[in-house]
């Protein structure tokens, strides 16, 4: 009596034709990538989002970024927390140091911060991070800094690119 040939055993002989996926080289690649990414990993993530249309100046300072109210000075506008406040041209022709519209906006944030401190105990640090283009003239820069100082934001942080090495 002949047995029915086993279906499982049928494949045994034809094993040489089977293609095995070579994952070893891919693993090597992944390991290198993993090590590289672990090296560039930052524990606090991105605290400051650099704006697209401006080039920050380069500095040798090693001080890490901090959280604060964001004042961005782009080529056309001054933005507070991403909202345009005042045109650059009108700042350049302005007499005196305090930019009225910027001061109004900053004071509103400062009052809000101080109210939060009173009601909920969240400390108001008066920190402001300033992002400016590397070609920003001093006449505009000093007016913005003076306005920040006058609007209860005395702790200014100038955002720069860190030079490595």
Residue ranges in contact with other proteins by CB under 8 A: 20, 23-24, 26-27, 30-31, 33-34, 37-38, 40-42, 45-46, 48, 50, 56-66, 97, 129, 132-139, 141-142, 145-146, 149-150, 152, 154-162, 164
Element holding 106 (H helix, E strand): helix 100-120
Pick between residue 50 and residue 100 the one whose CB is nearest to other proteins. 50
**By C-beta, is 46 or 119 nearer to other proteins?**
46
3-state secondary structure of 101: helix
* Residue placing its CB nearer to other proteins in the complex, 33 or 116: 33
**Strand pairing category for 69-73 and 77-80:** antiparallel
How far is the CA of 160 from the CAs of 30, 50, 141, in angstroms? 33, 10, 14
Helices 100-120 and 138-150, axial angle in degrees (round to 10): 30
Least separation in angstroms between CB 1 and other proteins = 17
Minimum distance, C-beta of residue 82 to other proteins, in the bound complex (Å):
17
């Amino acid at each position: 009596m002949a047995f029915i040939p086993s279906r499982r055993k049928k494949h045994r002989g034809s094993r040489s034709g089977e293609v095995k996926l070579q994952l070893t080289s891919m693993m090597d690649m992944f390991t290198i990538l993993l090590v590289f990414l672990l090296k560039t990993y930052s524990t606090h993530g991105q605290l400051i989002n650099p704006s697209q249309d401006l080039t920050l100046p380069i500095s040798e300072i090693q001080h890490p970024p901090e959280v604060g109210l964001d004042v961005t000075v782009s080529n056309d506008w001054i933005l507070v927390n991403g909202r345009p406040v005042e045109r650059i041209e009108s700042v350049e022709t302005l007499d005196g140091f305090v930019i009225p519209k910027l001061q109004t906006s900053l004071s509103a944030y400062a009052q809000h911060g101080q109210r939060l401190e009173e009601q909920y105990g969240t400390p108001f640090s008066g920190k402001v991070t300033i992002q400016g283009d590397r070609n920003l003239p001093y006449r505009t820069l000093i007016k913005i800094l003076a306005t920040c100082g006058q609007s209860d934001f005395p702790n200014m942080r100038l955002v720069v690119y860190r030079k490595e090495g």
